[in-house]
């Protein structure tokens, strides 16, 4: 199975953070835009950056190669980070060209895992700045 | 038990530069949060006669139980203090992201007490409060201050509340800015200035949790569905705001000859279509920006494409500013309006009262009561642009105008008070009591002076109720005041009151915090808060005499076929009598002991009795 991917259109983004909040609600049962796997970075007056993993268009996927414990792999179209192998060193964060990997409070690298196929951020976005593409 | 409320107050003592935290006691928690918490606290802790610009005044920055959650249209933050402009109790609001940050730092509200000896920056993070010298930030504008504050604490993502020169100079209508959103009304920026509080930075990393995620999500989905439906309607107010910002409706207001023009002498502005939201959208690259978790995105971020201000950008101007710094000064220049708005934001000035003061100054100059060598004419931008600088610096006549429209008119003399468009020294919001009599009653009875937040504006301007009628306006105004006050405990956006019924707000509250409240009790709470505010004001000497409109309201409008006044004193008195009776106050506008007892506020009667005697 090759699930859909999350596409972004920053020009439509209104910076409400609803995607980030839906993300942490889905993954951790809390609301916290600061620890989300999709994050909005404001660049007023320009349109914001919407940082989310887009491995399907990522040349060389440097996070996978950078990981000293080989915790990251691409499995069936989803970036999987093995929490037992990840030591939170942050190498992947530094090399990600999309700024889409983050270190969590419990020292784990995290990235968008597409919520198992139905990303919570998609219905949360009021302007379709985030959308699914097959 | 998880809850989106923190049940925690942070107290900051600027005099001693210390801070403490305290659990919110049950009698305060009964006021839910936001405005309710702020008003109750201020009444209990700030005694009558406290000078608004003294160390004794307190500045309460309060989020609500739904702030920081995904409940749509609950992003605003409330500041409560005594107003240096009106002398009344003040509640003032800004949207954006500040409230959510305060919640993430672990608090529902921050109470700022005392005064620092030197300019200070206070940094609140989740675990500590630190005090930093803001000596080097003296004179910086609000945006420069915010940047300097983030640098000083080395937290680039911190949310900052800052004041500019106007706040430092205690201009009585100085605003506090938070991330390009403005605590505009009433002079909270001057209170910060008087406390030598140049900025407050907030950064929090505590996730927000809701009490019952399933219940909460159902309520959120219901609210989102109602909002989506409303936004799809091209002609609904919210739909227009979402697409074009709050300035979308100026043409409609103008068509009804209800657009205040040239210091409220006329109700029609021939150049309205050059300065309204659609004109800005056409000429300036614009993109909408939201407050925290709000799908409406009515804020419009605009960039100036060419000319002297090329490259400048601003979130605004909003509708009310298009009136106050536009039509009411007779200005048809978008660029001048944009610049005036930007100067107000940078100096930290309320655009509404600033506009009331400027239009007063222009008319006073025309009549010879103001001579300052400035080019003050309706329709000419140079004079107002010069004056804004003078007001913020308190230079020359700017020092007089910095006192607010009522006080300034008294100083200028020559009958200026009759055309100073203010109530309780607070400049008019963008509406004409002569066209909308219920809104006029709201202006005079508002606890913070000429305010549009608790007025039947939508109903009167859209014609759902007859604006020219005085019948039943007292009941309509009372109901909306009580309802909006209740919603401001949450803290809702003013626009949510158009749409989200109290029942749904309470479902959101229950899902988020577990608190169960009936609609009746909730709206009754709004009435209690309204009465508490009135108690505060009566104890400061306010009563029927101050619940009044300037004499201009009883004059005919220029350029209209009828030479008769559209509103008479007798009509205003009729509405006021009916209003006081409905409120259970005496005809001087003083809450009776019996009414206060009924509302469970018997203890506050003493505050009134001491003052009235």
SS3 labels along B89-147: EEEEEECCCHHHHHHHCCCCEEEEECCCCCCEEEEEECCCEEEEECHHHCCCCHHHHHH
The span from the CA of B24 to the CA of B612, in Å, is 32
Residue B373 has pLDDT above 90, yes or no: no
Helix (H, G, I), strand (E, B) or coil at A58: coil
The number of folded domains in chain A is: 1
The span from the CA of B194 to the CA of B387, in Å, is 23
Give me the residue from A11, A14, A25 closest to B289, CB to CB.
A14
The CATH number of the domain where A47 resides is what? 3.30.70.20
Residue B562 has pLDDT above 90, yes or no: no
Give me the residue from B210, B295, B301 closest to A16, CB to CB.
B295
In tens, the pLDDT along B92-138 reads: 999 999 999 999 999 999 999 999 999 999 999 988 999 999 999 99
What value does the mean pLDDT of chain A take? Answer: 94
Cβ contact (<8 Å) for A14 and B297? yes
**CB–CB of B532/B40 below 8 Å?**
yes
Cβ-proximal residues to A21 (8 Å cutoff; 6+ apart), any chain: A31, A32, A33, A36, A124, B70, B293
Instruction: Kindly state whether residue A133 falls inside one of the protein's structural domains.
Output: no
B209 touches chain A (CB under 8 A): yes
B17 touches chain A (CB under 8 A): no
Residue B372 has pLDDT above 90, yes or no: no
pLDDT at B612: 64
Q: Which of B465, B497, B496 is nearest to B483 (CA)?
A: B497
Section B275-283 average pLDDT: 96
Residue B613 has pLDDT above 80, yes or no: no
Query: Could you tell me the residue range of the domain that residue A9 belongs to?
Result: 5-127
pLDDT at B245: 95
Instruction: Kindly state whether residue A14 falls inside one of the protein's structural domains.
Output: yes
User: B295 to chain A: which residues are within 8 Å by CB?
Assistant: 16, 18, 126
Instruction: Kindly state whether residue A76 falls inside one of the protein's structural domains.
Output: yes
Residue B439 has pLDDT above 90, yes or no: yes
pLDDT at B549: 98
The span from the CA of B154 to the CA of B147, in Å, is 10
Query: CB B385: neighbour CB atoms within 10 A?
Result: 16
Under 8 Å CB pairs connecting chains A and B tally to: 64
Helix (H, G, I), strand (E, B) or coil at B433: coil
For residue B153, report the phi and psi dihedrals to the nearest 5 degrees. -100, -5
Section A50-66 average pLDDT: 95
B542 touches chain A (CB under 8 A): no
E-strand ranges in B316-367 read none
Q: Which of B54, B15, B14, B62 is nearest to B37 (CA)?
A: B62
| Cross-strand partners of B132 | B121
Q: Which value, to the nearest 10 degrees, does the dihedral of the CA atoms of residues B238, B240, B245, B250 take?
A: -110
In tens, the pLDDT along B174-232 reads: 999 999 999 999 999 999 999 999 999 999 999 999 999 999 999 999 999 999 999 99
Domains of chain B listed by start with CATH number: 8-203 (3.60.9.10), 244-427 (1.10.569.10), 437-612 (1.10.599.10)
B392 touches chain A (CB under 8 A): no
Give me the residue from B69, B288, B295 closest to A31, CB to CB.
B69
pLDDT at B498: 83
Cβ-proximal residues to B254 (8 Å cutoff; 6+ apart), any chain: B268, B269, B272, B327
**CB–CB of B556/B566 below 8 Å?**
yes
pLDDT at B610: 82
Residues 270-309 of chain B whose Cβ lies under 8 A from any Cβ of chain A: 287-295, 297, 301, 303
What value does the mean pLDDT of chain B take? Answer: 97
The span from the CA of B121 to the CA of B198, in Å, is 6
Dump the DSSP string for B157-215: T-EEEE--HHHHTT-TTB-EEETTEEE-TT-HHHHHHHTTEEEEEEE--PPB--S-HHH
Cβ contact (<8 Å) for A16 and B291? yes
Cβ contact (<8 Å) for B287 and A21? no
Q: Which residues of A touch B (CB under 8 A)?
A: 11, 14-18, 21-22, 24-25, 28-32, 34-35, 44-45, 47, 105, 124, 126-127
Residue A76 has pLDDT above 70, yes or no: yes
In tens, the pLDDT along B455-506 reads: 999 999 999 999 999 999 999 999 999 999 999 999 999 998 889 999 999 9
Residue A2 has pLDDT above 60, yes or no: no
H or E element that contains B609: helix B605-612
pLDDT at A22: 98
Nearest residue on chain B to A48, alpha-carbon basis: B289
Rounded (5°) CA angle B306-B312-B317: 100
How are beta strands A5-8 and A130-133 bridged, if at all?
A: antiparallel
Enter the DSSP assignment of B591. Answer: B
Q: H helices within B250-318, ranges in order? A: 250-255, 272-275, 277-283
Q: Which of B207, B146, B181 is nearest to B294 (CA)?
A: B181
B70 touches chain A (CB under 8 A): yes
Residue A3 has pLDDT above 80, yes or no: no
Enter the DSSP assignment of B567. Answer: S
The span from the CA of B83 to the CA of B424, in Å, is 11
Q: Name the minimum distance, in Å, from the CA of B249 to any CA of chain A.
A: 21
The complex scores an ipTM of 0.95
Helix (H, G, I), strand (E, B) or coil at A75: strand
Helix (H, G, I), strand (E, B) or coil at B266: strand
Cβ contact (<8 Å) for B104 and A32? yes
pLDDT band at B311 (very low <50, low <70, confident <90, very high): very high
pLDDT at A1: 45
Residue B1 has pLDDT above 90, yes or no: no
Instruction: Kindly state whether residue A90 falls inside one of the protein's structural domains.
Output: yes
Cβ contact (<8 Å) for A14 and B288? yes
């Amino acid at each position: 199975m090759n699930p859909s991917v999350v596409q972004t259109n920053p020009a439509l983004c209104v910076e409400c953070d609803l995607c980030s909040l839906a993300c942490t609600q889905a993954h951790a049962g809390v609301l916290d835009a600061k620890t989300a796997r999709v994050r909005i970075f404001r660049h007023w007056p320009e349109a914001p950056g919407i940082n989310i993993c887009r491995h399907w268009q990522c040349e060389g996927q440097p996070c996978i190669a950078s990981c000293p414990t080989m915790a990251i792999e691409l499995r069936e179209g989803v970036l999987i980070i093995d929490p037992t192998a990840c030591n939170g060193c942050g190498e992947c964060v530094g090399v990600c060209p999309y700024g889409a990997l983050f270190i969590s409070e419990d020292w784990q690298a995290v990235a968008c895992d597409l919520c198992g196929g139905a990303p919570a951020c998609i219905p949360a976005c009021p302007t379709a700045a985030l959308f699914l593409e097959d | 038990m998880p809850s989106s409320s923190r049940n925690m107050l942070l107290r900051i003592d600027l005099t001693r530069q210390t801070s403490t935290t305290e659990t919110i006691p049950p009698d305060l928690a009964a006021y839910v949060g936001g405005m309710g918490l702020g008003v109750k606290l201020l009444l209990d802790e700030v005694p009558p006669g406290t000078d608004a610009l003294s160390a004794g005044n307190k500045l309460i920055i309060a989020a609500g139980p739904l702030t920081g959650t995904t409940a749509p249209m609950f992003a605003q933050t409330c500041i409560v203090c005594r107003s240096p402009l009106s002398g009344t109790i003040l509640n003032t609001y800004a949207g954006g992201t500040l409230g959510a940050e305060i919640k993430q730092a672990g608090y529902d509200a921050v109470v700022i007490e005392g005064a620092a000896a030197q300019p200070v920056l206070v940094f609140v993070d989740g675990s500590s409060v630190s005090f930093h010298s803001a000596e080097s930030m003296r004179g910086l504008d609000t945006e420069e201050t915010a940047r300097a504050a983030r640098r000083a604490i080395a937290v680039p993502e911190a949310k900052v509340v800052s004041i500019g020169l106007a706040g430092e100079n205690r201009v009585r209508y100085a605003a506090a800015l938070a991330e390009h959103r403005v605590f505009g009304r009433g002079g909270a920026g001057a209170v910060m200035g008087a406390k030598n509080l140049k900025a407050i930075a907030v950064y929090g990393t505590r996730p927000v949790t809701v009490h019952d995620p399933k219940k909460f999500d159902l309520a959120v989905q219901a609210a989102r569905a109602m909002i989506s439906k409303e936004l799809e309607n091209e002609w609904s107010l919210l739909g227009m705001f979402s697409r074009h910002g709050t300035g979308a409706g100026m043409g409609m207001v103008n068509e009804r000859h209800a657009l205040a023009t040239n210091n409220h002498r006329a109700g029609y502005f021939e150049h309205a279509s050059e300065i309204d939201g659609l004109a800005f959208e056409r000429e300036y690259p614009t993109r909408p920006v939201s407050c925290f978790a709000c799908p409406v995105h009515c804020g419009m971020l605009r960039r100036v494409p060419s000319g002297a201000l090329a490259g400048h950008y601003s979130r605004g101007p909003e509708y009310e500013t298009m009136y106050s710094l536009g039509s009411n000064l007779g200005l048809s220049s978008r660029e001048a309006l944009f610049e005036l708005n930007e100067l107000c934001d940078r100096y930290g000035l309320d655009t509404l009262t600033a506009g009331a003061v400027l239009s007063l100054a222009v008319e006073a100059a025309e009549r010879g009561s103001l001579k300052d060598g400035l080019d003050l004419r309706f329709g000419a931008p140079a004079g107002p642009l010069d004056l804004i600088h003078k007001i913020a610096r308190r230079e020359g006549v700017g020092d007089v105008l910095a006192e607010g429209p009522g006080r300034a008119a008294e100083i200028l003399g020559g009958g200026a008070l009759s055309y100073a468009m203010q109530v309780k020294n607070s400049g008019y919001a963008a509406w004409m009591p002569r066209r909308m009599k219920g809104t006029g009653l709201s202006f005079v009875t508002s606890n913070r002076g000429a305010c549009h937040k608790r007025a039947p504006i939508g109903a009167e301007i859209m014609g759902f109720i007859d604006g020219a009628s005085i019948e039943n306006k007292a009941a309509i105004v009372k109901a909306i005041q009580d309802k909006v006050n209740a919603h401001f405990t949450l803290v809702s956006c003013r626009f949510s009151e158009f749409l989200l019924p109290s029942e749904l707000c309470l479902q959101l509250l229950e899902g988020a915090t577990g608190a169960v409240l009936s609609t009746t009790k909730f709206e009754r709470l709004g009435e209690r808060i309204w009465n508490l505010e009135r108690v505060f004001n009566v104890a400061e000497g306010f009563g029927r005499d101050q619940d009044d409109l300037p004499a201009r309201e009883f004059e005919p409008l220029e350029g209209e076929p009828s030479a008769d006044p559209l509103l008479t004193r007798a009509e205003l008195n009729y509405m006021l009598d009916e209003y006081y009776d409905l409120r259970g106050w005496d005809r001087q506008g003083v809450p009776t002991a019996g009414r206060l007892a009924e509302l469970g506020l018997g203890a506050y009667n003493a505050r009134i009795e001491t003052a009235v005697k």
